[in-house]
Structure 1
Amino acid sequence: MKNSSQLKVALAQIAPVWLNKKATLDKIYTQMEAAAAEKAELIVFGEGLLPGYPFWLALTGGAEWNKTIVKELHAHYVRNSVTIEEGDLDTVCTLAKKYKLATYLGIIERPLDRGGHSVYASLVYINQEGEVKSVHRKLQPTYDERLTWAPGDGNGLQVHPLKQFTVGGLNCWENWMPLPRAALYGQGENLHVAVWPGSDHNTKDITRFIARESRSYVISVSSLMDKNDFPENTPHIAKILKNCPQVLANGGSCIAGPDGEWLVEPDITTNGNIYHTLNVDRVYEERQNFDPVGHYSRPDVTKLVVNRERQSTVSFED
């Protein structure tokens, strides 16, 4: 019987086949199979990996009003986004169940409950039984992301049991938002998953900060993206590449322990899975002198109220 106090994790630091849903899913399946072969029990993919981050906005004048190239690339993005209700993640769920591999996957979601035309940067949790247990739509897209992603809601601010761990996650700069973090801490989170589009400049400070604040393990997983990763058949590819740097996302995936010290320092060399085994006892050790929602809190003075209702434009009473 596996030790329930230990958890082997895989950080899937890979590039998408940019804006190609089917081909990127094939890469995800490959990483899940590789993680299973290494007996991992949780695999995490970066923000919006499926089918990729909207790099074109910064490279093609995305803020210019009614610009044809931006609108056509947005349409291409929507066509390659993920609609969970239509079965786009069914094979991911099947593999999660087959390998008993819990999965956090960053997707660009096109949900039918919001009409099926807008997209959201969503973080999906699939348990070891292959069930989608939460879909967290990013609360606040950052800067030029707002030109293509819609803001989400609190429905996905949920945590999940995994052996003796309680896991929760946030997208990119949401991890800097103190109240969403507190919402997860208050539900018993002791393994925090932070997903990023890429680069160690995002992960090198916040990962250790959250670990030290929460006295939890923190896994940061970032994607990779190189100029050579843009498919040749991408719409307006020549204009995208004209102002494109060689490296857009260098990874930086890492793990901090409950004392805020590195277990895996930001990695900018690995293309593939990064593995590590966590022991929940370290959480209890570090909570002895600080527990942000337990003995070191004052709910009689300050308390957080969270609205987890899934938002929709219409409510039908048939």
Structure 2
Amino acid sequence: MPVIRASVVQTCTAAYSLPDTLNKLHRLAKLAKERDGSQLAVFPEAFIGGYPRHSTFGAVIGSRSPEGRDEFLRYHQAAIEIPSPAITQVEAIARETELFLIVGVIERDGGTLFCTAVFIDPKSGYVAKHRKLMPTASERLVWGLGDSSTLSVVEGTFLAGDVTTKAKLSSCICWENYMPLLRTHYYSKGVQIWCAPTVDSRPVWQSTMTHIALEGRCFVLSACQFAQQKDFPPDHSVPLNCPRDPESVMIGGGSVIIDPLGQVLAGPLREGEGVLTADLDLDEIIRGKFDLDCVGHYARPDIFQLSVTGN
């Protein structure tokens, strides 16, 4: 029975401070390893670099303000490059904890930022990244669009005593999960563990995660941020008609782990930061594909075909 012990980490950026955020990553990765015995841990969307919820960056159609440009400068400075000393630190954390890490970051590439997830192997270090293909709504103001060059499905090797287990992992960030053809691409690559870093804390998000687990007959690990006003810089925007209150919730969590038949194994977590852990029995994937393999016996390739540019 090939089993991987996996965690989703519900946390948030520390007020755009890279050193403080990396310290949180270290502390929570150690918790997942030492308390729960995890081999894999998924951190939320934009964990390193921050998700600028409620920010407008001083922009309306046809006009940008100097204050908004200053805010973008601060946000740009909080982002990281790949590779970089920050990635080296994440590699060191993965190596120390013996955890395969998937971490949401804001990636800086020249003057453009990308919402990215990095794959960090405890032995090999950084092995791949995925850039969010389609930022949602106002996110497009500050994030560039990814392309087909980072649609990675990565094979991870997981050790537990004398037992070695291999599994194929993907990352699909927030509302990318609503892109049917992207899902089909990952299914066609044989994804077994579907990692969904997100900031979508709506209850309906759970329906999306359950659907993907059922549709793809894969394990779904959704790691969402939980953030309060105190987790942002003091002058960060807050919702309209919302008083400034350090304890007020800005992003409400909802991290969850779901199996290939849609059963919730852990979560959803709502009350603050934390780590959820579950055992992933990879044989459950094949048991599920007995009656549904959406890129195999249920695909009808005589009628439908998928073409992915550059792949």
Asked whether the two chains share a fold, i.e. TM above 0.5, the reply is yes
Alignment partner, residue 208 of structure 2: 206
Q: Which moved more, 1:5-14 or 1:199-208?
A: 199-208
Residues in 2 aligned to 1:62 and 1:267: alpha-carbon distance in whole angstroms: 34
Alignment partner, residue 137 of structure 1: 131
1:127-157 deviation digits (Å, cap 9, x = unpaired):
2314222111110000110111111111221
Residues in 2 aligned to 1:13 and 1:209: alpha-carbon distance in whole angstroms: 21
Match of 1:63 among 60, 81, 86: 60
- 2:64 maps to a residue whose letter is N
Q: CA deviation at 1:270?
A: 4.4
Change (3 A) 1:181 1:303: same
Are 2:133 and 2:147, in contact at CA under 8 Å, matched by a contact in 1?
yes
Q: CA deviation at 1:240?
A: 4.8
- 1:27 maps to a residue whose letter is K
Match of 1:109 among 107, 110, 113: 107
Alignment partner, residue 73 of structure 1: 71
Q: Any gaps of 5 or more consecutive residues in structure 2? A: 157-164
Matched, 1:268 2:270: yes
Matched, 1:24 2:35: no
Superposed CA RMSD: 2.0
Match of 2:12 among 3, 11, 15: 15
Q: Any gaps of 5 or more consecutive residues in structure 1? A: 310-318
Alignment partner, residue 124 of structure 1: 118
Change (3 A) 1:308 1:222: farther
- 1:124 maps to a residue whose letter is V
Match of 2:188 among 170, 186, 189: 186
Q: Percent identity?
A: 29
Change (3 A) 1:13 1:61: same
Match of 2:87 among 76, 89, 93: 89
Match of 1:46 among 44, 47, 50: 44
TM-score (norm 1): 0.87
1:169-204 deviation digits (Å, cap 9, x = unpaired):
111000000111111111110111111124143631
Instruction: Give the length in aligned residue pairs.
Output: 297
Alignment partner, residue 316 of structure 1: none
Moved beyond 3 Å, runs of 4+: 60-64, 239-245
- 2:38 maps to a residue whose letter is A
Residues in 1 aligned to 2:48 and 2:272: alpha-carbon distance in whole angstroms: 19
Matched, 1:148 2:151: no
Alignment partner, residue 159 of structure 1: 153
TM-score (norm 2): 0.89
